[in-house]
Amino acid sequence: MEKKEMLYEGKAKKVYTTEDPDVLIVSYKDDATAFNGLKKGTIVGKGAINNRMTNFIFKKLEAQGVPTHLVEELNDRETAVKKVEIVPLEVIIRNYSAGSFAKKMGMEEGVKFKCPTLEFSYKNDDLGDPFINSYYALALELATQEEIDDITKYAFKVNEVLQQYFDALNIDLIDFKIEFGRYHGKVILADEISPDTCRLWDKDTHEKLDKDRFRRDLGGVEDAYEEVFRRLGIQ
């Protein structure tokens, strides 16, 4: 499978067409951004880690009944994926307070919830990805009720599988963001699951093993990504 033209260059990935109209190639970059692109930098080796980690996790999720866009890992940084129409919702699940939730609710970070939360942001960089609810999503025609129901069901399933998985690696899954796309009339999991899109804390030390190290200038960013990758034991 070969790349034809670049369709899109995002903040973390480039997306290319292929000879198959149903298949795209995503190429993961080492570029890192935060605060809607205001902070920019490089995390050496991140592209390969995020590519390989996403594919590893997507395979586990497929085995547990969550359909994904994964077609085939092509090399360290590049993967063939099903071309979807992205549903413009960032779907965020939280198991513990952190980040924007902690700020908004005037709470410290790291408080475990009795049950996980799910929220949507409207995926729109110009508006700064505003928080919305499912009625807004329906009113703005971002998704149908049926799609929202499927997205909700799959998002909680992803949480269940990931929580169990990271638990065994002595990592607490604090929160994460996922995206879905439409493929031949069905909603499937797309984009990525990586330390860029999850908060991952060591269970014992509560050390942050994710992009917050970059966002908050905590240092040891590359080491944190490598540590998660090492614990996953990806061959």
Task: Name which of 3 and 43 has its Cβ closer to ligand UDP.
Answer: 43
| Chain centre distance of CA 112 | 21
User: Contacting ligand UDP (CB under 6 A), which of 67, 99, 110, 116?
Assistant: 99
Please give the structure tokens belonging to residue 222: 């590359």
- Under the binding rule (CB under 6 A), the answer on residue 100 touching ligand UDP is yes
Contact track, ligand ADP, 72-111, x by CB under 6 A: ---------xxxx-x-------------------------
Residues 26 to 55 in contact with ligand UDP, rule: CB under 6 A: none
Burial class (CB in 10 A: 0-12, 13-18, 19+), 189: buried
What are residue 125's phi and psi, to 5 degrees?
-60, -35
Round to whole Å and give the CA distance between 183 and 186. 5
Task: Name which of 70 and 92 has its Cβ closer to ligand UDP.
Answer: 92
Nearest approach in angstroms of CB 211 to ligand UDP is: 6
The site partner of 175 among ligand ADP, ligand UDP, none (C-beta below 5 to 8 Å per kind) is ligand UDP
What are residue 182's phi and psi, to 5 degrees?
-95, 130
221-232 helix and 46-63 helix, angle to the nearest 10 degrees = 30
Size of the site for ligand ADP (CB under 6 A): 17
User: Contacting ligand UDP (CB under 6 A), which of 12, 70, 155, 198?
Assistant: 198
Evaluate whether 25 touches 35 at the Cβ level (below 8 Å). no
Round to whole Å and give the CA distance between 89 and 190. 12
Round to whole Å and give the CA distance between 149 and 215. 32
User: Contacting ligand UDP (CB under 6 A), which of 14, 179, 197, 228?
Assistant: 197
User: Contacting ligand UDP (CB under 6 A), which of 43, 53, 81, 92?
Assistant: 92
What are residue 34's phi and psi, to 5 degrees?
-150, 165
Contact track, ligand ADP, 154-193, x by CB under 6 A: -------------------------x-x--------xx--
Instruction: Provide the binding-site residues for ligand UDP, judged by CB under 6 A.
Output: 90, 92, 98-101, 129, 175-177, 197-199, 211
